[in-house]
Chains A and B, each alone.
Chain A
């Protein structure tokens, strides 16, 4: 473990950034951006996650091994989501039951 760690100032800056981003997510939800509402909300979530991971969880300062574990987690998660979605979305006989007559 490298001896370098974030300073209190870094923590405060990151915290402020997180608060601003949280407010931004909430605010943007009230603006009509069509499909981009979801895209922007998720993009902000990714930025917030990165800030927490890199600074609060010290990944920025951690040995590469820990970062590989994180990447491996994301890799398997991507497999899980993409293969499941590929299956569901390619089956044309599965449609939303919302559209079916009741």
Chain B
């Protein structure tokens, strides 16, 4: 009790603004710009760890692709390249709407922000729907390792069954991990859209939108690599 009394008695620091926007600027930061830089820096550090998190799977992919190339080609040719391309277009479009959402937040345009966040969410869901369709196709083709792997002879294209199975393991693990990130991203954006709709994202402090945008674009970049690495191995010209 006496401690509180002592702190109450402390005079205000001279440079303390009389009515600081305490809900916007957290007390540990000098000004809003420093806070924004710190928020962005923190997200970039997280994304660097994410890079290595996915990097482990990509390294595994590179090694097994080197060791079992015919199986990987056969497995890749069993995937629908057009569906993969469609997913790429949808995801690139979602990245564009996300960038526009950050732009709207920066300009303080609430309606535009909610609109672009919602479009990003819809495009994200469209991507997942396409992905899910493809998973169902793989189930019907009996190409799901561990659960339902009895591929028809023609889908092996002369490669050993076990190495095609290995490719399908990588396919499901990499796209599954990516889809998990998409689901998390959609959740983040849904919360943001509600908060933005309530008008609780001030123009001075839109880093929540900016930082979520960085995450969304990162997930997009992962897909930019997954598309050629999974769907286009060895070309499609045969």
Contacts and interface: CB of A to CB of B under 8 A. Distances in A.
* Bound pair (A, B): yes
Interface stretch (B58-66, B140-148, B196-204): B58-66
Q: Which of B47, B51, B224 has the most CB of A within 10 A?
A: B224
B173 interface: no
A34 to B, nearest CB: 8
Q: Which of A57, A72, A80 has the most CB of B within 10 A?
A: A57
A37 B235 contact: yes
A73 B221 CA distance: 14
A74 B220 CA distance: 17
Q: How large is the interface on A (under 10, 10 to 19, 20 to 34, 35 or more residues)?
A: 35 or more
B63 A85 contact: yes
Interface in B199-238: 210, 213-214, 217-218, 220-221, 224-225, 227-228, 232-237
B221 A5 contact: no
B70 interface: yes
Interface in B53-86: 55-56, 58-59, 62-63, 66-71, 81-82, 85
A22 B103 contact: no
A30 B237 contact: yes
Contacts of A18: 92, 95-96
Which among A22, A44, A88 has the greatest number of chain B C-beta atoms within 10 A? A22
Contact of B55 (A53, A66, A80, A85): A80
Interface string A21-45: 0110110011111000110011011
Nearest to A8: B103
Contacts of A38: 228, 233-234
A-B pairs, top 4 by smallest CB distance, nearest first, are A73-B48, A41-B228, A15-B96, A37-B235
Given A15-B93, A70-B47, A88-B67, 13 more contacts: A23-B85, A25-B85, A30-B236, A30-B237, A32-B235, A37-B235, A38-B234, A63-B37, A65-B41, A76-B51, A81-B59, A98-B68, A98-B69
26 contacts: A14-B96, A15-B93, A22-B92, A25-B232, A26-B82, A29-B237, A30-B235, A31-B237, A32-B235, A33-B235, A45-B224, A52-B217, A52-B221, A53-B221, A57-B213, A63-B37, A65-B37, A69-B45, A69-B47, A69-B48, A72-B48, A76-B55, A77-B55, A80-B56, A81-B55, A102-B160
